[in-house]
Amino acid sequence: MAETVDAREADRALKAKHRTMWALGDYPAVARQVVAGLGPVLVEACAVKGGDRVLDVAAGSGNAAIPAALAGGDVVASDLTPELLAAGRKEAEARGATLTWQEADAEALTFEDGAFDAVMSCVGVMFAPHHQAAADELVRVCRPGGTIGLLNWTPEGFIGQMFATMKPYAPPPPPGAQPPPLWGKEEHVRALLGDRVSDVEGRRRTIRVDLFQEPEEFRDFFKKAYGPTIAVYRNIADDPERTAALDAALVDLAQGAMRDGAMEWEYLLLTARKG
């Protein structure tokens, strides 16, 4: 029993840490200014139509949930971080979208079995630390015959490489936590979903990012707005040499990816049907 209690306490502490991290900076600005095109791509892939019951898991500020609602879906946007949900409510109101916002842990959703026609996540569930637990929940809350749609950064793509660049400067991950970019590997996601789904289709695509004219602009924006990057910099805040080294590494990464002031960031778009 003591081990079970300890494990629960450790999980609560880990989730609190994640909640705090995603509240840092201004992720809604990232969603709105940098990757706004991703949500509509996922909604289209899931073929959301009027009357569909839709759950967006780890929805953030509604990058996919709001387009799903505008497409006619009866949408619930769930996320661990209330600050992101609050930002999403304001964005939805400004865009004339009506949907439900609910705080929820992707690894322990509070919804009934088979409650949704479509269950999706846009660069969100990939950050849940325990991949199998999160995948099990995606499948559980989807109705038989319903659609599961996932859009995640690939390990080989720009954001996957950004995480690899930051890893030496970050604190060690907690025991059992898996790297987020694994969700960008089709074979990994297929293994997580297993034989509970059929008609699995994975496509590697890119989003064009032209907000940053210089690599330093990318680095400075992510240092200010993106929670995981902010957290890594905080980890080395008392080490000027390592901070300078990470500064240079992120500039080098962006420089290598830029072509005429734009970058192509690769993601995996995967859809499946629950059996």
CATH 3.20.20.70 fits 2-209+265-274, yes or no: no
The structural domains of the chain, with segments of one domain joined by +, span: 2-209+265-274
What crossing angle do the helices spanning 215-225 and 240-257 adopt, rounded to 10°?
120
Per residue, what are the HEC states of 62-114? CCCHHHHHHCCCEEEEEECCHHHHHHHHHHHHHHCCCCEEEECECCECCCCCC
Reading the chain (275 residues) residue by residue, the pLDDT tens digits are: 445 767 788 899 999 999 999 999 999 999 999 999 999 999 999 999 999 999 999 999 999 999 999 999 999 999 999 999 999 999 999 999 999 999 999 999 999 999 999 999 999 999 999 999 999 999 999 999 999 999 999 999 999 999 999 999 999 998 889 999 999 999 999 999 999 999 999 999 999 999 999 999 999 999 999 999 999 999 999 999 999 999 999 999 999 999 999 999 999 999 999 99
